[in-house]
Structure 1
Amino acid sequence: MTERFTQYIPHENAMCAFGKQLINAICRLPSRQNVTLYLNGDLGAGKTTLSRGMIQGLGYSGNVKSPTYTLVEEYAIGEKIIYHFDLYRLADPEELEFMGIRDYFADNTICLIEWAEKGADLLSPPDLLVNIGYAENARNIELVAQSTMGQQIIQQLT
């Protein structure tokens, strides 16, 4: 049975707060292996806002912007490295090979990937699908575990 978790998010601050809750659940796990999240949702659904909540939830105080034009932003926070990818403008999945995509999925990293479907088969499979949908002026988030690690993250949230 696939482990699932849903959360109603009434506003932007709640999205950031949920991001902090999610990153804390990830960091409570004893494993130092890579954790990969695919962030799914339409334009403006809140993928970058969730990422900002996660990154700032680890103590990062700088600006967290969408890596739409750079493809990836790196945040080294304590012992963790978070890579925030936005593949929306990716013209060809082969571009990921040129940037050494496989190197990003190392131990003790967290990869947050927006528009993962544009990366074809070059990305590490997700531990967790994070589906963000509109609910009028609010959002609904559904987490779907894709691995044992994903199941453990969801169990930390419940």
Structure 2
Amino acid sequence: MSRLELDSRSATETQELGRLMAGALEPGDVLVLTGDLGAGKTQLTKGIARGLGIDDEVTSPTFALEAIHEGGRMPLYHFDLYRLHDADELGDAGLWDVLGTDGVCVIEWGEQFADELGDERVDVLVTRAEDEVEAGGEPLRHIELVSHEARGDALVAAVADVLRGQGPA
């Protein structure tokens, strides 16, 4: 298991982190984004889309459950599982159709289905530090990447390298 901890001082920085992360993503990668409402999960996803070369408007697909964004170097399958309560609903949401295929899956609120998703994922925990407000009035965000298997370890290491300026951006 690999772990990487980062801080973001604004929505713009969170998007930039996502853009940099996108350079390390490969088809089949799965990111499970966890955090309270407004923590920055969708901002991170917006950055991932930009980093993949996708120009679509990215919003959280809370009611549609899934948004497919194409036009970049690979598709981005963006899920919001907030409204799901049972693992049997994952198939109806379309998750099994795209998981591990030709694009990256970004799953908001997927932590409740960790057992069903398996270890081939990287958990991305986004928390707001309300007591640590930056100059622009935004709370500091702590972002932690946690892998569970070899590909996840490689992804976390690649993101760390990119952030240190040692890899592709």
Q: So what's the TM-score if we normalise by structure 1?
A: 0.86
The whole-number CA distance in structure 1 between the counterparts of 2:156 and 2:115 is 25
The farther-off stretch of 129-138 and 119-128 is 119-128
Q: Of 105, 108, 119, which aligns to 1:114?
A: 108
Please provide the CA RMSD for this pair.
1.8
Q: Of 63, 67, 79, which aligns to 1:85?
A: 79
Equivalent positions of 1:24-103 (< 5 A) are 24-27=23-26, 32=27, 34-103=28-97
Residues 54-77 of structure 1, C-alpha deviation per residue, up to 9 Å, x if partnerless? 012212222111100000000123
Aligned length: 152
Q: Structure 2: which 5+ residue stretches go unaligned?
A: 131-138, 161-169
The whole-number CA distance in structure 2 between the counterparts of 1:144 and 1:59 is 25
Equivalent positions of 1:137-156 (< 5 A) are 137-156=139-158
The whole-number CA distance in structure 1 between the counterparts of 2:103 and 2:128 is 29
SS at match of 1:45: coil
Q: So what's the TM-score if we normalise by structure 2?
A: 0.81
Identity of aligned residues (%): 36
Q: CA shift at 1:119, angstroms?
A: 3.8
SS at match of 1:108: coil
The farther-off stretch of 98-107 and 146-155 is 98-107
Are residues 100 and 50 of structure 1, via their aligned partners in 2, closer, same or farther at CA, if it must alter by over 3 Å? closer
SS at match of 1:83: strand
Runs of 4+ in 1 over 4 A off after TM superposition: none
Are residues 57 and 42 of structure 1, via their aligned partners in 2, closer, same or farther at CA, if it must alter by over 3 Å? same
The whole-number CA distance in structure 1 between the counterparts of 2:62 and 2:48 is 18
Q: CA shift at 1:44, angstroms?
A: 0.8
Q: CA shift at 1:120, angstroms?
A: 6.5
Are residues 69 and 100 of structure 1, via their aligned partners in 2, closer, same or farther at CA, if it must alter by over 3 Å? closer
Please tell me the residue identity of whatever aligns with 1:35: D
The whole-number CA distance in structure 2 between the counterparts of 1:132 and 1:9 is 10
Q: Structure 1: which 5+ residue stretches go unaligned?
A: none
